[in-house]
Copies of this chain bind each other. A is one copy, B any other.
């Protein structure tokens, strides 16, 4: 389960906030494989947004193989696991971290800031 929340002031489109929260929910374990998400209509009502906005979010996640939808039944967290060849693994990690810290630095955060924040989350 995930408590969805939209922030109109975030500067991030609603449908993207929904996408992000689902993705992060999966990554953090709050959402597990096979779990059913709220119906498009239910979530639209809950978040006070249009049906199409939720649909757009779900659909994009289905295209990414993160969600599985069954018309008439519902939308579910998929079982997709991304596998990377061991050789590429450490290079990929470096790439991600480089991009990550570069962006964080551009906002004036230090490496320690980031590490602290990640450790904070890690403890939870």
Contacts and interface: CB of A to CB of B under 8 A. Distances in A.
Q: How many copies does the complex hold?
A: 2
Interface in A103-124: 103-109, 111-115, 117-119, 121-122
A102 B3 contact: yes
Interface string A66-110: 000000000000000111100001101110111111111111110
Interface stretch (A11-19, A36-44, A48-56): A11-19
A122 B115 contact: yes
Contacts of A89: 108
Contacts of A96: 100, 103-104, 107, 109, 114
A33 interface: no
